[in-house]
């Protein structure tokens, strides 16, 4: 019994010693784990601090870089604005100078046009005066002729009529000769210009028709410019100028009827308007 009790005591003592040893080992391990955890936490905190510091430094650097870029952009914009303002000023000055130059040119053109119109008016007035004087002289001559004819004998009137007919025939012959000479020159020029025979023939035929219409075989319906301005019913309304005699035509338009045919349409219309027969 005493042995069993002693053995139990020994077993209990051994168990207690083992439990205490296990408890001490476990405590030591927990102490070590706690110390390790404490060191890991410090490292993590230190790392987080380092990371935060690095992040803050990067953000500050980025902010400074952005600020520098914005400053540079603002300076560039300021310079660009100054350049734009300077360019606008230069453009406005150039535009103003161009407008002033155009205005001066228009003024000069208007002055020149007014001078031309004044000169044309003076020429028309002078021409009208001359025509009035010529008309008066012609009317007086006709009156004198009528008076003289009334005093003539039948034989004298016959001689006068024959003389006028002879004068008219001579005038028509001269016109025909001048026309034929002009036709020859024109034909030679057309040949030099390389015109075909058909083109030359067509032009000559048309020119002969126009000459025939102008000359009228001695019975053409000639009118004075004053009569044509009244647009008589027996005249070609589209070509009133054809009813002028060759002498009147050249006197009024400063060219022959053959030269008239070669003149451009705009020039013909302008001259006809000036004379009041367009």
Distance CA 10, CA 16 (A): 10
CB 187 within 8 A of CB 200: yes
Average pLDDT value for residue range 106-129: 80
pLDDT digits (tens, 9 = 90+) for 234-258: 788 888 898 899 999 999 999 999 9
Position 219 pLDDT exceeds 60: no
Give the whole-angstrom CA distance, residue 82 versus residue 12: 102
Question: Residue 218 pLDDT more than 50?
Answer: no
The whole-chain average pLDDT of the chain stands at 82
Q: Are 253 and 260 in contact (CB under 8 A)?
A: yes
CATH 3.40.50.620 fits 221-278, yes or no: no
- Asked whether the predicted pLDDT for residue 24 surpasses 60, the reply is yes
CA distance linking residue 160 with residue 154, whole number of Å: 10
The domain spans of the chain are: 158-219, 221-278
**Rounded Cα gap, residues 140 and 93, in angstroms:** 69
Query: What is d(CA 186, CA 206) in angstroms, rounded to the nearest whole number?
Result: 13
Contact status, residue 135 vs residue 226, Cβ threshold 8 Å: yes
How would residue 12 be classed by pLDDT, with cut points 50, 70 and 90?
Answer: confident
């Amino acid at each position: 019994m005493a042995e069993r009790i002693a053995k139990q005591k020994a077993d209990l003592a051994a168990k207690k010693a083992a439990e205490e040893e296990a408890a001490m080992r476990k405590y030591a391990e927990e102490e070590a784990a706690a110390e390790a955890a404490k060191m890991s936490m410090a490292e993590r905190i230190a790392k987080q601090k380092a990371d935060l510091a690095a992040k803050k430094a990067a953000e500050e650097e980025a902010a400074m870089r952005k600020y520098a870029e914005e400053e540079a952009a603002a300076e560039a914009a300021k310079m660009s604005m100054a350049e734009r303002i300077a360019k606008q000023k230069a453009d406005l000055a150039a535009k103003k100078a161009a407008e002033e130059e155009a205005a001066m040119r228009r003024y000069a053109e208007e002055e020149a046009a007014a001078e031309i119109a004044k000169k044309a008016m003076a020429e028309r007035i002078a021409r009208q005066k001359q025509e009035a004087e010529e008309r008066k002289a012609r009317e007086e001559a006709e009156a004198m002729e009528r008076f003289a004819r009334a005093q003539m004998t039948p034989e004298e009137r016959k001689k006068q009529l024959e003389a006028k007919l002879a004068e008219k025939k001579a005038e028509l012959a001269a016109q025909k000769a001048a026309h034929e000479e002009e036709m020859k020159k024109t034909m030679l020029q057309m040949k030099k210009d390389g015109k075909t025979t058909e083109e030359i023939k067509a032009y000559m035929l048309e020119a002969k028709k126009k000459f025939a219409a102008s000359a009228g075989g001695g019975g053409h319906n000639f009118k004075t410019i004053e009569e044509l301005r009244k647009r008589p019913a027996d005249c070609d309304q589209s070509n009133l100028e054809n009813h002028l005699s060759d002498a009147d035509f050249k006197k009024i338009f400063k060219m022959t009827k053959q030269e008239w045919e070669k003149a451009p349409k705009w020039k013909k219309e302008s001259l006809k308007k000036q004379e009041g027969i367009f």
